[in-house]
Amino acid sequence: MRSRFSPTVSAVIVGLSLALALAGPTPAPAAPPAPAATPAPAPAAKRPAKAQAQPAPEPDKGTFLLTVFLRHDQSKTLSEIEQHLDKTGYYRKFPPDGVEVVSWYVMMGLGQVVTLRVPAERLREVNRVLEESAWGGYATEFYPTYDYKALGETKHEEALGNAP
pLDDT of residue 21: 42
Any domain includes 17: no
Any domain includes 162: yes
Any domain includes 108: yes
For 6-56, write each residue's pLDDT tens digit: 443 344 344 444 443 434 444 444 555 555 555 555 554 454 444 454 445
Please give the tally of structural domains in the chain.
Answer: 1
Any domain includes 19: no
CATH number, residue 145: 3.30.70.920
Any domain includes 49: no
Any domain includes 38: no
pLDDT of residue 146: 87
The share of the chain scoring above pLDDT 90, in percent, equals 56
The share of the chain scoring above pLDDT 70, in percent, equals 63
Greater model confidence, 91 or 1? 91
Domain that holds residue 111: 62-164
Any domain includes 109: yes
pLDDT of residue 37: 55
Please work out, in degrees rounded to the nearest 5, the angle formed at the alpha carbon of residue 10 by the alpha carbons of 78 and 65. 85
Any domain includes 79: yes
Q: Which residues contact 67 (CB under 8 A, 6 or more apart)?
A: 14, 113, 114, 115, 116, 142, 143, 144, 145
